[in-house]
Amino acid sequence: MSGISAPRGTKDILPGEVEKWQYMEDIVRRVCARYGYREIRTPLFEHTELFQRGIGEATDIVEKEMYTFTDRGGRSITLRPEGTAPVVRAYLEHKLYGSAQPVRLFYHGPMFRYERPQAGRYRQFHQFGIEALGSQDPLMDTETILVALTIFEEMGLEGLHIEVNSMGCPRCRPMYREGLKHYLKGRLDRLCPVCRTRYELNPVRILDCKENTCREELEQVPEIGDYLCPECRDHFELVQRYLTSLGRPYSLNPRLVRGLDYYTKTVFEVIAPGMGAQRAVAGGGRYDGLAEECGGRATPAVGFAAGMDRLLLALESQGKELSLSRELDAFVAIVGDKARMMALKVAVALRDHGFRVEMETEGRSLRAQLKTADRLGAAHVIIIGEEELGRNAAVIRNMEDGGQQEVPLAQLIESPESLSLQKISG
Ligand code: HAM
């Protein structure tokens, strides 16, 4: 091939690897069903304006990470960098506010951000997420965190850690902004150039800066907790009380501000140990103003999204064996040209009975066929040979112990379950 490879920051998920994704997706589906979340699938691209308005103009995502292009009709289109704004758009567009509230939705699929690729950070990555729209109850914030933790536990992840904070609301956040700006004003020349521009546009983002100089200047920074209005304070206290009553440990991180501007009240991240800089496997929170920001009716909502690529890395770094099914129940081998027709019949019959079966097509020696069957991970090889055909029989070879047994062809075709053959794959 002429050396064309997958674009930087993307990857192929090959057979062998794909089963691990299916394993994660199955758990997401199962847990979401238990909590009443139903799947939604939104387009991979949206009008750029949705993300500009939803995520916020002065965020890294909108400023420099979106895959935006003009389509042939002259519209500005963006590959979705996240799933929340599209779900809110769909909720409004299809008037889901007309059905029983809150509406609980989940999704999974690829997202796109033009970031600097490194371990755990890609340009096409995969998220699953849940969004509960139409409730302002702090119980829903707690439920969201619980769904995340339940899914991660069922995947077998250990040592996860939850950080929570409150971002306040349009009533109290402006006061915090002012307090923050007041504190930072005399320190501006010691902040990094990016934070200096953030100072005017989006000062809260400065709390998230990873530069050492900025971190030093932030040591005594005022905390948003001291500025919350009574409603936000009560809400946050209830979320914490519910978590505690469920025996779910968490820590308060007053610097947790998240990279998207739509958050109000509760925000949280789930951190996996030993993951270096990309240690957040999930993040989310409440976004009571997003629906209005998108031009719709006011709709309180809360949700989270998890990075599935990172979850897989975390699972692997913890040495977790993902329960993967075996590849193949049986390989049908052929000895002699006259056996080909019967081999085809046997393979089709076994497949019709639900077995996973491959058959020989290349006319190789039996030895070579057994080797192929072994490489495919087949549990059994069914040998259809001219000699056995004369006796209306076939041979079943157990690949584990090498044991062989001659069986009547009719039984193999009509009731394979009655033989030593077993479906070993789920
Ligand atoms: P986010 O924090 O931008 O939030 O992304 C959620 C998770 O996606 C991150 O914690 C991380 O695990 C994963 N992730 C993000 N960017 C990348 C990347 N470039 N490569 C690999 N993984 C990545 C959101 O997207 C919000 N929509 C979450 C939400 C839902 N808030 C409310 N509802």
Report which of 255, 367, 360, 291 is spatially closest to residue 95, judged by C-alpha positions. Answer: 291
Q: Which atom of ligand 1 is nearest to the CA of 84?
A: 27
Q: Which atom of ligand 1 is nearest to the CA of 311?
A: 12
265 lines ligand 1 (CB under 6 A): no
CA distance 422 to 406: 16
SS3 of the chain: helix, strand, coil, percent, to 5: 40, 20, 35
Lowest mean pLDDT among 200-204, 238-242, 269-273: 200-204
pLDDT tens digits for 179-220? 999 999 999 999 999 999 889 888 998 998 888 999 999 999
Q: How many whole angstroms from 215 Cα to the centroid of ligand 1?
A: 23
113 lines ligand 1 (CB under 6 A): yes
Q: Which atom of ligand 1 is nearest to the CA of 61?
A: 3
pLDDT of residue 424: 56
283 lines ligand 1 (CB under 6 A): yes
Residue 425 has pLDDT above 50, yes or no: no
Residue 426 has pLDDT above 70, yes or no: no
For residue 160 the two structure tokens come to 């996860």
Please report, to the nearest 10 degrees, the dihedral formed by the alpha carbons of residues 138, 144, 149, 154 taken in order. 140
Q: How many whole angstroms from 282 Cα to the centroid of ligand 1?
A: 6
Residues 266 and 141: beta-carbon distance below 8 Å: yes
Report the pLDDT averaged over residues 250-274. 94
Residue 409: count of CB within 10 angstroms of its CB: 18
Lowest mean pLDDT among 46-50, 60-64, 106-110: 60-64
Residues 87 and 135: beta-carbon distance below 8 Å: no
For residue 250 the two structure tokens come to 């968490």
Share of the chain above pLDDT 90, in %: 89
Give the mean pLDDT of the chain: 94
Residues 278 and 310: beta-carbon distance below 8 Å: yes
pLDDT of residue 289: 97
φ and ψ at residue 175, rounded to 5 degrees: -70, -35
CA distance 421 to 424: 9
Residue 14 has pLDDT above 50, yes or no: yes
φ and ψ at residue 156, rounded to 5 degrees: 100, 10
Pocket probe for ligand 1: among 152, 268, 310, the residue whose CB has the most ligand atoms within 8 Å is: 310
pLDDT tens digits for 399-422? 999 999 999 999 999 999 888 777
pLDDT tens digits for 339-380? 999 999 999 999 999 999 999 999 999 999 999 999 999 999
Q: How many whole angstroms from 55 Cα to the centroid of ligand 1?
A: 12
Residue 85 has pLDDT above 70, yes or no: yes
φ and ψ at residue 128, rounded to 5 degrees: -115, 155
> In sequence order, which residues have a C-beta less than 8 Å from that of residue 125 and are 6 or more positions away?
110, 111, 113, 307, 308, 309
pLDDT of residue 323: 63
pLDDT of residue 117: 96
pLDDT of residue 321: 78
- SS3 for 221-243 is CCCHHHHCCHHHHHHHHHHHHHH
pLDDT band at residue 1 under the 50/70/90 scheme? low
305 lines ligand 1 (CB under 6 A): yes
Q: Which residue has the tokens 């010691």?
A: 190
pLDDT tens digits for 293-338? 999 999 999 999 999 999 999 999 999 877 666 579 999 999 999 9
Residues 92 and 296: beta-carbon distance below 8 Å: yes
Q: Which atom of ligand 1 is nearest to the CA of 303?
A: 33
112 lines ligand 1 (CB under 6 A): no
Q: How many whole angstroms from 12 Cα to the centroid of ligand 1?
A: 20
Q: Which atom of ligand 1 is nearest to the CA of 85?
A: 27
φ and ψ at residue 238, rounded to 5 degrees: -65, -45
Alpha carbon of 48 to those of 9, 23, 61, 287: distances in Å?
A: 22, 33, 12, 20
pLDDT of residue 121: 96
Residues 341 and 366: beta-carbon distance below 8 Å: no
141 lines ligand 1 (CB under 6 A): no
CA distance 189 to 221: 16
pLDDT of residue 101: 97
86 lines ligand 1 (CB under 6 A): no
> In sequence order, which residues have a C-beta less than 8 Å from that of residue 384 and are 6 or more positions away?
332, 333, 334, 335, 339, 342, 343, 346, 394
In DSSP terms, which residues pair with 163 in a beta bridge? 251, 269
For residue 17 the two structure tokens come to 């690897």
Task: Kindly state the helix (H) or strand (E) to which residue 97 belongs, with its residue range.
Answer: none
For residue 372 the two structure tokens come to 């192929």
Cα 97–chain centre separation: 26
